[in-house]
């Protein structure tokens, strides 16, 4: 048994939102919620400013296993997710082999079953992610795939995206399309701005993202299929999505926490931890992106977690692999930007976007909870990283709020 004492409940869908309550969890279920509960047999969790919400969900996570276990195993990824407050993560098809049929999805479901963190596989959209032939989408969906995505690969063939959206609409699944026009992006590795010019690095204009989003929105309007645009990094891209949402509800989008908090100014150090895909935008763009956080344009904020070993990062900048880990730092960075209740909303909207049952904070419900303290400020250091790979773009950055632990699937993991 676990007894959470005097916890402020953050759940906009609940009548308990904003209220302080004791919560008793027994055998993985919320047994009682009351102003005061006494139970000498329970493990008591009590803090000066204890908060709880439904378990957070990260919609864009890459792990090493299978294929790249030296980067991060599934077991270690679960620990890192829990440290960041996530009870559910969507696993990108960024492994070897990538799931592209029923057996690939079932393997991931089986090896991660009954863990404190629920792992939801994302299947490849096309075979081998080569953009030529659709993967076995329906079979993967029946096996447990929650979405389809050629991870960080744009769908160049517009007709293939059209057919895929039409097909998946018959079983109400979600297709993700990476927002980048490869012809405009070329061989660019950083944003086209004054910083890239001064550093002499190959750049790509934000136009590469905006063109792709404009095309994909037109295809979504035609097909009426469910389209999710992941890791949008430009304000013009968000403006296009905002305009589309005025008349249609079949499109959603996410923004990564690093694009909301870090700018291309970081590149002046030539630290490869700041080499990301899409690239960090300039300081003005970051401030404009932040203004969308309190609107309904951004559905989800994600860590876009990508573990990479020093063999991929301790190189010349142009040779290094793009990506940063982020699960452990996502909440602390986001909570710095907006009110805690809005941060929680953006970390839990994924349930609705990807057709998952939303947890409930009610007596008799299975406990799927994140327990945290929202006001503690600290500097993010390597000691805060649970992930095997340490390639964090947030090292040395100030965070606000700490995760105390999670409860999910009749299990609990604590950071303290």
* Per-residue model confidence as pLDDT tens digits over 4-19: 999 999 999 999 999 9
Q: Which secondary-structure segment (H or E) carries 119?
A: strand 118-121
Low-confidence ranges of the chain (pLDDT < 70): none
What pTM was computed for the model? 0.96
CB 119 within 8 A of CB 146: no
* pLDDT in the model for residue 39: 87
Token pair of 176 as six digits: 């993700």
CB atoms within 10 A of CB 147: 26
pLDDT at position 407 is 98
Told to judge if 304 belongs to the known catalytic residues of this protein, a careful annotator would answer yes
How far is the C-alpha of 257 from the C-alpha of 276, rounded, in Å? 12
Place of tokens 């160049």: 156
What's phi and psi for 303, nearest 5 deg? -80, -20
Residue 395: the pLDDT is 98
The sign of the dihedral angle between the CA atoms of 392, 396, 399, 405 is positive
User: Residue 311: how many CB atoms within 10 A of its CB?
Assistant: 11
Domains and CATH numbers, the chain: 2-51+364-376+398-414 (2.30.40.10), 56-353 (3.20.20.140)
Catalytic, out of 282, 304, 314, 341:
304
Tell me the per-residue pLDDT of 62-116, one tens digit each, with 9 for 90 and over: 999 999 999 999 999 999 999 999 999 999 999 999 999 999 999 999 999 999 9
Closest CA to 228 of 149, 294, 293: 149
The reported pLDDT for the residue numbered 250 is 98
Beta strands in 130-205 (DSSP E): 174-176, 190-191, 203-204
């Amino acid at each position: 048994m676990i007894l959470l004492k005097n916890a402020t409940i953050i759940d906009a869908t609940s009548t308990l939102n904003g209220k302080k309550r004791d919560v008793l969890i027994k055998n993985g279920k919320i047994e009682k919620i009351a102003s005061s509960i006494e139970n000498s047999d329970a493990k008591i969790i009590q803090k000066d400013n204890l908060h709880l919400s439904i378990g957070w969900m990260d919609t864009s996570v890459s792990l090493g296993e299978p294929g790249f276990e030296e980067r991060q195993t599934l077991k270690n990824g679960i620990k890192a997710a829990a440290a960041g407050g996530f009870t559910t993560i969507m696993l990108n098809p960024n492994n070897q082999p990538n799931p592209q049929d029923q057996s690939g999805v079932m393997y991931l479901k089986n090896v991660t079953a009954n863990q404190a963190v629920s792992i939801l596989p994302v299947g490849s959209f096309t075979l081998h992610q080569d953009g030529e032939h659709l993967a076995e989408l329906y079979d993967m969906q029946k096996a447990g795939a929650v979405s389809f995505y050629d991870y960080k690969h744009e769908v160049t063939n517009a007709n293939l995206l059209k057919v895929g959206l039409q097909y998946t609409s018959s079983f109400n699944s979600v297709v993700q399309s990476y927002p980048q026009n490869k012809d405009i992006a070329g061989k660019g590795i950083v944003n086209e701005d004054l910083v890239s010019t001064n550093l002499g690095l190959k750049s790509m204009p934000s136009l590469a993202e905006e063109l792709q989003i404009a095309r994909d929105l037109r295809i979504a309007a035609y097909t009426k299929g469910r389209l999710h645009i992941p890791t949008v990094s430009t304000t013009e891209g968000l403006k296009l999505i905002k305009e589309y949402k005025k008349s249609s509800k079949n499109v959603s989008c996410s923004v990564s926490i690093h694009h909301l908090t870090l700018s291309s100014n970081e590149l002046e150090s030539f630290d490869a931890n700041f080499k990301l895909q899409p690239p960090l935008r300039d300081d003005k763009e970051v401030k404009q992106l932040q203004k969308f956080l309190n609107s309904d344009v951004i559905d989800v904020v994600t860590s876009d977690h990508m573990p990479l070993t020093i063999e991929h990062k301790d190189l010349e900048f142009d040779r290094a692999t793009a990506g940063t880990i982020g699960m452990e730092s996502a909440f602390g960075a986001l909570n710095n930007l907006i009110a805690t209740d809005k941060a929680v909303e953006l970390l839990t909207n994924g349930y609705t976007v990807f057709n998952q049952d939303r947890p409930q904070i009610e007596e008799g419900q299975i406990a799927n909870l994140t327990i945290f303290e929202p006001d503690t400020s600290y500097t993010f250091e390597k000691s805060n990283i649970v992930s095997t790979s340490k390639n964090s773009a947030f090292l040395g950055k100030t965070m606000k709020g700490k995760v105390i632990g999670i409860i999910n699937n009749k299990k609990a993991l604590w950071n303290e």
